Amino acid sequence: MWRMWYRTIIVFWATHVVHHSAENYNLTVSFRLSWIQHLKLAFILPVAFCGFHPVIFFIVNQISVLFQFWQHTEYIGRLPRIFELIFVTPSNHRVHHGSDEKYIDKNFGAIFIFWDKIFKTYVPEQEKPTYGITTKVPPTLDPLYLNFHEYKDIIADVKTARTWREKLFYIFGSPTKIARRKKPKQRQDLMPGRYSSSLSSFFPFPGSLPFSSVSFFSKFSLISFIRDDTGPSISSCGSGVCNVSGSGFEIG
């Protein structure tokens, strides 16, 4: 349920938008996380207060993190029907990252997709999604902008709101409904030409440094574990960039 709230209440969405603003879809997107993403712990603390042991919490959380890693790829197509019906597969999760009208606010699940079927938010992948968010961010590597531009917009909207009801709407309303209400406009708060468009659209980490060390090493260990002679391997590292041969991406 908290995953759904995190995407349908804008003040929470602002902590997750970094992940969804990536316009390329590959394994590095799983590392593209907000500096303030851990505010979601507020939704999980009641589980601890109910008496669940911290070790159980940690193990379950890491299983969830690792399972979501492999979902961020276009190399894996649709899997056998039984898997697509039960689990969140790459095909199911690609829908979640789509900014197309039919894909917005769909497939919220992390491990099991049947939750979306229960809550009527499931949509199968039909055509290739348009990745990113509906209001495209400027091509930039500025981590401050990527992490906080949504909060800047929220503050601006609240200031221009005429009533308290409207102010609360711009804080707790649905990002989709807010976007439809506001007149579409191009973001002007970044100088054009200052950053490389091709680099910024591919660069996986600007919004995630410093990212969770536990998350990073868990996923990196998974890559090392599943790698074989025919799979991707890290061939060289230098100047902060690691070339991963056989995978089609770089880690920088």
Average pLDDT over all residues of the chain: 75
Q: Whole-angstrom Cα distance, residue 248 to residue 232?
A: 9
Q: How far apart are the first and last CA of the chain?
A: 33
pLDDT in the model for residue 154: 93
What separation in angstroms does the CA of 204 have from each of 40, 131, 198?
22, 14, 12
Q: Whole-angstrom Cα distance, residue 232 to residue 226?
A: 9
Nearest to 30 by CA among 65, 74, 56: 65
Q: Across-strand partners of 243? A: 236, 250
In the block, tokens 């961010």 appear at 137
Q: What is the pTM of this model?
A: 0.69
Choose between 114 and 181: higher pLDDT.
114
pLDDT in the model for residue 70: 94
Q: Is the pLDDT of residue 252 over 70?
A: no
Q: Across-strand partners of 87? A: 112
Is residue 174 within 8 Å of 8, Cβ to Cβ? Answer: yes
Q: Is the pLDDT of residue 189 over 80?
A: no
How confident is the model over 4-40, as pLDDT tens digits?
Answer: 666 778 888 888 899 999 999 999 999 898 888 877 7
pLDDT band at 167; cut points 50, 70, 90: very high
Q: Whole-angstrom Cα distance, residue 252 to residue 242?
A: 6
pLDDT in the model for residue 52: 84
Choose between 157 and 194: higher pLDDT.
157
Nearest to 6 by CA among 136, 114, 150: 150
Q: Given strand 249-251, what is the order of strands in its sheet?
A: 233-238, 241-245, 249-251
pLDDT band at 122; cut points 50, 70, 90: very high
Is residue 160 within 8 Å of 102, Cβ to Cβ? Answer: no
CA atoms within 13 A on the CB side of 75: 11
pLDDT in the model for residue 102: 93
Is residue 111 within 8 Å of 93, Cβ to Cβ? Answer: no
Q: Taking the mean position of all CA atoms in its chain, how far away is CA 238? A: 27
